[in-house]
């Protein structure tokens, strides 16, 4: 059963955030509640206030300042896997590992849909002269799925190029390795690799969503001291005998109690914000 609007607003006013951010959040919460879409806020309030999962502060900030998504982002999250299959950039390493034409012919003959990286790249020089990684070019033909993938790759590549995101770097393309006999993987294996890649990219972009420059500026202006209501709530909650053992263990583990520790969470979030300006992504400069 959905919580009442007044209860949700009361929980919002207890969050470990600056009051300016809480005021911005109040407007967004009202809009979501009127549309019947406040469930995400309910879950996040519970995890932060009851379970003390303070890493969820990032998700609250996303919910407040990233309401309007880029079109390509919304399409990526909702696009069926089968629509991107056949369009996602792929690299068959058989073209790098050998120059033997017969071996390559055997490899591509065994593929369900033969594909040549060399032909796709329209290379004139020998493949051995091409440095890794080989990049599959997109067709010049206008295709809405290709346009989505181009925008996705642009954002993903930017994230991978920035140390501040603190994530393991992985290429956007799917790499297919031949067997010792020079044959391609089984079609099921090929399909599985592509599914994993698409899922990985979606997860990265859901975790690190772009923000509009206007919303980022609003967020920066709303910074300030942490809401004192949170510390009163925390003190009252931690003295209650009804606090569960699981939450108490989390309290001991995280020990997030001070203004400075909470501000560090917000500062780290701000350092990882990026926005599009003049067709290029830019990282927030504190």
* 15 close to 227: Cβ distance less than 8 angstroms: yes
Determine the Cα angle at 52 with ends 49 and 26, to 5°: 35
The pLDDT value given to residue 225: 96
In sign, the C-alpha dihedral spanning 95, 98, 99, 100 is negative
Is the bond into 133 cis (omega within 30 degrees of 0)?
Answer: yes
The pLDDT value given to residue 22: 98
Question: CA of 70: how far to CAs of 119, 154, 204, 257, in Å?
Answer: 33, 13, 15, 36
* 256 close to 54: Cβ distance less than 8 angstroms: yes
DSSP 49: I
The structure's pTM equals 0.81
* 284 close to 61: Cβ distance less than 8 angstroms: no
DSSP result, 137-196: PPPSS--HHHHHHHHHHHHHHHHHH-GGG------SSEEE---TTS-PPPHHHHHHHHHH
How confident is the model over 158-187, as a mean pLDDT? 91
Cα 32 from chain centre: 22
Position 251 confidence tier, pLDDT thresholds 50, 70, 90: low
Q: Which of 6-20, 178-192, 197-211 has the lowest mean pLDDT?
A: 178-192
The pLDDT value given to residue 96: 85
Integer Cα distance of 167 and 159 in angstroms: 9
Q: Where are the domains of the chain?
A: 5-67+211-283, 75-112+138-207
């Amino acid at each position: 059963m959905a919580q009442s609007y007044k209860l949700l607003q009361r929980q919002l006013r207890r969050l470990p955030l600056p009051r300016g951010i809480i005021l911005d959040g109040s407007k967004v919460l009202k809009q979501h509640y009127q549309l019947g879409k406040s469930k995400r806020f309910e879950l996040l309030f519970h995890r932060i206030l009851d379970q003390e999962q303070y890493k969820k502060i990032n998700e609250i900030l996303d919910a407040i300042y990233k309401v309007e998504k880029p079109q390509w982002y919304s399409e990526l999250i909702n696009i069926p896997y089968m629509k991107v299959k056949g369009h996602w950039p792929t690299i068959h390493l058989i073209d790098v590992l050998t120059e033997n034409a017969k071996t390559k012919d055997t490899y591509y003959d065994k593929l369900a849909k033969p594909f040549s990286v060399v032909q796709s790249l329209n290379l004139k020089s020998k493949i051995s002269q091409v440095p890794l990684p080989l990049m599959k070019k997109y067709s010049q033909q206008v295709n809405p799925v290709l346009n989505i993938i181009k925008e996705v790759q642009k954002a993903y590549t930017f994230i991978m190029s920035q140390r501040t995101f603190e994530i393991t770097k992985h290429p956007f393309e799917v790499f297919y390795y031949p067997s010792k006999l020079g044959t391609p993987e089984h079609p099921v294996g090929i399909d599985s690799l592509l599914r994993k890649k698409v899922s990985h990219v979606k997860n990265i972009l859901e975790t690190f969503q772009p923000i509009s420059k206007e919303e980022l500026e609003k967020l920066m202006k709303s910074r300030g001291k942490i809401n004192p209501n949170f510390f009163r709530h925390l003190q009252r909650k931690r003295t209650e005998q009804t606090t569960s053992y699981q939450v108490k263990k989390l309290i001991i583990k995280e020990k997030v109690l001070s203004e400075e520790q909470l501000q560090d969470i917000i500062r780290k979030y701000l350092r990882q914000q990026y926005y599009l300006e003049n067709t290029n992504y830019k990282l927030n400069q504190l």
